[in-house]
Amino acid sequence: MAKTALITGVTGQDGSYLSEFLLAKGYEVHGIIRRSSVDYRERIAHLEGTPHFHLHYADMSDSMSLVKLVGKVMPDEIYNLAAQSHVQVSFDAPEFTADVDAVGVLRILEAVRTNHLEKTCKIYQASTSELYGKVEEVPQSETTPFHPYSPYAVAKLYGFWIIKEYREAYNMFCCSGILFNHESERRGETFVTRKITLAAARIAQGKQNCLYLGNLDSLRDWGYAKDYVECMWLILQHNTPEDFVIATGVQHSVREFATLAFHHAGIELRWEGEEINEKGIVASINTALAQAEGLKVGDTVVAVSPDFYRPTDVVNLLGDPSKAKRELGWNPQTTSFEQLVELMVAHDMKKVAADDAAAEIRKVNLAEYLEKGVDK
């Protein structure tokens, strides 16, 4: 019999890849969506209307909607990916972040218990390397002490502990994947990697002059989201419910990410100055397109803005994926850092060109409309 999975956060980066992964495994996939005044389902648009993929309205802040939905779907596995996932935003909306990212986890657990599914339904919780925060050791593993360093991380810490508590108190199969940063062509546009790859593509095509960033020294262990969703599934197929660190074991700075992204967009950078005065300057240009658009050697294309500094920043994340390798048979090096940056830039080079073409068509349509009064 096909298994049934319920995914919260199905419209997000990970939710979209996990849906594809589970559908390919023959699962019946149900996802939670919330109402929005604009279209936000871009990442799962290709799955809508396909058999075995079902969407339902519910919200992590609404217990009744979760209880009713879990009772209706009767899932074998729940993947709790829904969250206010932006660390910087959590400083601006800390209460909302706590409600969704902390109490939301409790609501899912109670929805399972209310429907008497605690013996049959396994739960995956999207935990995070942000729990290590102001890190107490490098690299970080399952035994490293937590030191959360943002409202987001504090909320996620509650999620981690309530999952552990229900595992021990009620003997439920619920686990946390402590995932380090994972990125992709579908990454939200305000996370640093995607912000950089989109800006590099725009600058190479003459659509943007300069990219403003915050802490360039920040170190991350960046992996590819498509590789990481497999681990979420593997964690629930393990014979005992346990928590796992999922990471590549390789670390790079924001500056290194930017240097490589611009390289793939045809622009070599050199760095000058320090801290707030640091700049990424064009050292050479290997693309006719950028030259044609007026970009010159010596132009400043990356600058630092204190707007992107955080009240407390997590600056040294490096994961030790030994347990996941050993016990789940997972390969943390499936996609390298170099491949990840290359594929994100290649995607965004095409996207920027296509957006431009679409904007041109809209301009022509608008001009025709204004001239002839014809609504296209």
Contact, 134 vs 315, CB < 8 A?
A: no
Closest approach of ligand NAP to the CB of residue 140, in Å: 13
Residue 152 designated active-site: yes
Residues that contact ligand F7E, how many (by CB under 6 A): 23
> Which whole-number Å values give the CA distances from 121 to 22, 24, 29, 40, in the listed order?
16, 21, 14, 29
| 129 lines the binding site for ligand F7E (CB under 6 A) | yes
Q: Which residue is nearest to ligand NAP (CB)?
A: 12
CA angle 33, 238, 147 (to 5 degrees): 70
Contact, 190 vs 86, CB < 8 A?
A: yes
| 105 lines the binding site for ligand F7E (CB under 6 A) | no
100 binds, among ligand NAP, ligand F7E, none (CB under 5 to 8 A by kind): ligand NAP
Q: Compare residues 9 and 75 and give the one whose CB is closer to ligand F7E.
A: 9
Q: Compare residues 76 and 101 and give the one whose CB is closer to ligand NAP.
A: 101
Closest approach of ligand NAP to the CB of residue 362, in Å: 25
Closest approach of ligand NAP to the CB of residue 348, in Å: 17
* Dist. CA 103–CA 350, nearest whole Å: 40
Residue 50 designated active-site: no
Closest approach of ligand F7E to the CB of residue 264, in Å: 18
| 144 lines the binding site for ligand F7E (CB under 6 A) | no
Q: Which of 79, 152, 224, 228 is catalytic?
A: 152
List of residues contacting ligand NAP (CB under 6 A): 8-15, 32, 34, 36, 40, 59-61, 81-85, 100, 126, 128, 179, 181-182, 188
* Dist. CA 344–CA 364, nearest whole Å: 30
- Between strands 122-128 and 77-80, the pairing is parallel
| 128 lines the binding site for ligand F7E (CB under 6 A) | yes
Rg for the chain, CA atoms, rounded: 22
Catalytic residues: 128, 130, 152
Binding site for ligand F7E (CB under 6 A): 85, 87-88, 128-130, 180-181, 190-193, 195, 213-215, 218, 220, 254, 308, 310, 313-314
